[in-house]
């Protein structure tokens, strides 16, 4: 059940790790017409693309003023009722906070206050996936093919594909599983450190009942839901197919056969140096 609230949120962030159905959820929230136009506005490799779309003036060095960027993102990501939405992966959070701190130096070191200053009264939705192996398999395929979603909802990038055929890699799957667990733990630690009680959603519940899951988020945010269930509609298509299940079964066979569980390569750390969809 969502946490009882006393006010409507001005903004929200969907906090996630890759391949948890975050694009699907953002499309569902957008379809309500009252929950912003959430996107991954703060993914560093895409910020210049968004800035060009919004025609933000460039500096002499070719960059842009981040205060202008945050303001433009809030305008683009808000519905007429003033609600703003966006997505954050763990590797993106530190980058956003650091950039906002450079603008609002009086709030340096206070992550939540910085987000509230930039986006109004902010709430958090935490999206994760129980089946970490399936999540890692999906992540590997997306990385290999550069196809992160099918369909879409105005995303700036992520569905171009590269024409490459995905190939099974047990070691890479294991590394992604470890990274998912590390990032999930990092999100939990961040919520705890700031006394945040996010609204928790799982991929499995979302997949089972998209309408009820979406409406529970609107309730958590203090937003009146549309009268018709048909107002909640998916904008993205399922990507998992028989190959995903084959890789899951092959992974189990690989490690049941006594494959070395140790990783050949060092793990990326869950911090500002990681940036994924």
Backbone angles phi, psi at 205, to 5 degrees: -70, -40
Q: Is residue 264 part of a domain?
A: no
Q: Is residue 22 part of a domain?
A: yes
Q: Is residue 6 part of a domain?
A: no
Backbone angles phi, psi at 128, to 5 degrees: -140, 175
Question: Structurally, how many domains does the chain consist of?
Answer: 1
Q: Are strands 150-151 and 84-89 parallel, antiparallel or unpaired?
A: unpaired
Closest CA to 275 of 45, 8, 34: 45
> Which CATH number covers residue 156?
3.40.50.300
Q: Is residue 267 part of a domain?
A: no
Task: Please work out, in degrees rounded to the nearest 5, the angle formed at the alpha carbon of residue 183 by the alpha carbons of 210 and 68.
Answer: 80
Question: Residue 87: which H helix or E strand, with range?
Answer: strand 84-89
Q: Is residue 127 part of a domain?
A: yes
Q: Is residue 263 part of a domain?
A: no
Bridge partners of residue 84, in order along the sequence? 11, 78
Retrieve residue 15's tokens.
């906090």
- Tokens 């590797």 sit at which residue? 91
Mean pLDDT in order along the chain per 10 residues (277 residues) = 65 96 93 94 91 92 92 97 96 94 97 97 97 94 74 57 79 95 98 98 95 94 76 63 89 73 44 46
pLDDT, position 76:
96
Domain holding 243, by residue range, is 11-256
Chain centroid offset of residue 68 CA: 22
Q: Is residue 273 part of a domain?
A: no
Closest CA to 179 of 61, 41, 273: 273
Q: Check: pTM over 0.75? Answer yes or no.
A: yes
The whole-angstrom separation of Cα 224 and Cα 148 is: 31
Q: Is residue 3 part of a domain?
A: no
């Amino acid at each position: 059940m969502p946490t009882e609230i006393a006010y409507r949120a001005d903004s929200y962030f969907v906090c996630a790790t890759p391949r948890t159905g975050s694009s699907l959820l953002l499309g569902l929230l957008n379809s309500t017409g009252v929950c912003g136009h959430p996107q991954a506005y703060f993914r560093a490799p895409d910020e210049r693309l968004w800035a060009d779309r919004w025609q933000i003036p460039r500096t002499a060095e070719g960059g842009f003023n981040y205060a202008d960027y945050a303001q433009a993102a809030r305008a683009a990501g808000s519905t007429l009722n003033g609600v703003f939405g966006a997505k954050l992966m763990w590797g993106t959070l530190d980058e956003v906070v650091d950039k906002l701190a450079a603008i609002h130096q009086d709030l340096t070191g206070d992550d939540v206050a910085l987000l509230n200053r930039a986006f109004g009264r902010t709430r958090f939705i935490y999206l994760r996936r129980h089946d970490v192996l399936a999540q890692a398999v999906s992540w590997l395929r997306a990385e290999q093919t550069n196809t992160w979603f099918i369909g879409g909802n105005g995303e700036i990038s992520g569905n171009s594909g590269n024409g490459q055929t995905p190939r099974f890699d047990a070691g890479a799957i294991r590394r992604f599983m470890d990274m998912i667990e590390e990032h999930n733990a990092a999100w939990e630690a961040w919520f705890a450190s700031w006394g945040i009680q996010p609204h928790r959603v799982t991929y499995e519940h979302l997949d089972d009942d998209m309408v009820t899951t979406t409406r529970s988020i609107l309730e958590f945010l203090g937003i009146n839901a549309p009268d018709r269930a048909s107002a909640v509609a998916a904008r993205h298509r399922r990507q998992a197919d028989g190959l995903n299940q084959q890789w899951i079964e092959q992974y189990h066979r690989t490690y049941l056969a006594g494959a070395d569980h140790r990783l050949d390569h060092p793990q990326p750390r869950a911090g500002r140096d990681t940036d994924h969809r």
